Amino acid sequence: MFKNIRTLALTTAIVSATAVSAFAENPMVGGAAMYADKNIVENAVNSKDHTTLVAAVKAADLVETLQGPGPFTVFAPTNAAFDKLPDGTVETLLKPENKDQLTKILTCHVVAADAMSDAISKMIADDGGEHPVKTVGGCTFTAMQKDGKIMLKDGQGNVATVTIADVDQSNGVIHVIDTVLLPAS
């Protein structure tokens, strides 16, 4: 009987340690746990730092797409990134008549691949310090690295820094960024 209790206790400890280590692999985003077995939308809705992005994804009817099998790499701007846009920009983009423009901007934050930061860093290094990043929205941004941080320059010269990298998802990866990337004018 005691042997079974010890075996049960050991098994419980191993399962608990495995669950904790699996959980620890993903960083917290916006005060919320991010689960590798959930998709991009399921995780994003829990981040208090991404409420504007989630609202925009809903307004652009991209929820179903980003819940799909992917793989997707999403460069996810925070609420503070959206706040850096000129006054009224977000409100204007969220209007139904601007859905195409909103969709273009959002899909320019998505790459049709599962690109973790080490792979992006290698591509940057292999290309001599800058790597073109082609998005599903038809934009091409320039990935570069400074002080160990991955940065993306958009078609208008804006530079976004990855502030939280490698948030693993069931259908790809999220990299949190501090600036909204925009298509070339």
The token pair that represents 107 in the structure block: 């899909």
Q: What is the pLDDT of residue 39?
A: 87
Q: What is the pLDDT of residue 20?
A: 41
Q: How many CA atoms lie within 13 A of 14 on its CB side?
A: 6
- Superfamily of segment(s) 2-177: FAS1 domain (2.30.180.10)
DSSP 181: -
CA distance 93 to 18: 44
Q: What is the pLDDT of residue 6?
A: 45
Count Cβ neighbours within 10 Å for each residue of 102-137 and write b for 16 or more, e otherwise: bbbbbbbbbbebebbbeebbeebeeeeeebebebbb
Contact 164, 66 (CB under 8 A): no
Tens digit of each residue's pLDDT (9 = 90 or more) over 4-43: 444 444 444 344 444 444 444 788 788 788 888 998 898 8
DSSP 96: G
CA distance 161 to 184: 18
Q: Percent of the chain having pLDDT more than 90?
A: 66
Contact 131, 142 (CB under 8 A): yes
Q: What is the pLDDT of residue 32?
A: 80
> What's this model's pTM, rounded to 2 decimal places?
0.84
Q: What angle do CA 22, 145, 119 make, to 5 degrees?
A: 45
Q: What is the pLDDT of residue 129?
A: 95
Low-confidence ranges of the chain (pLDDT < 70): 1-24
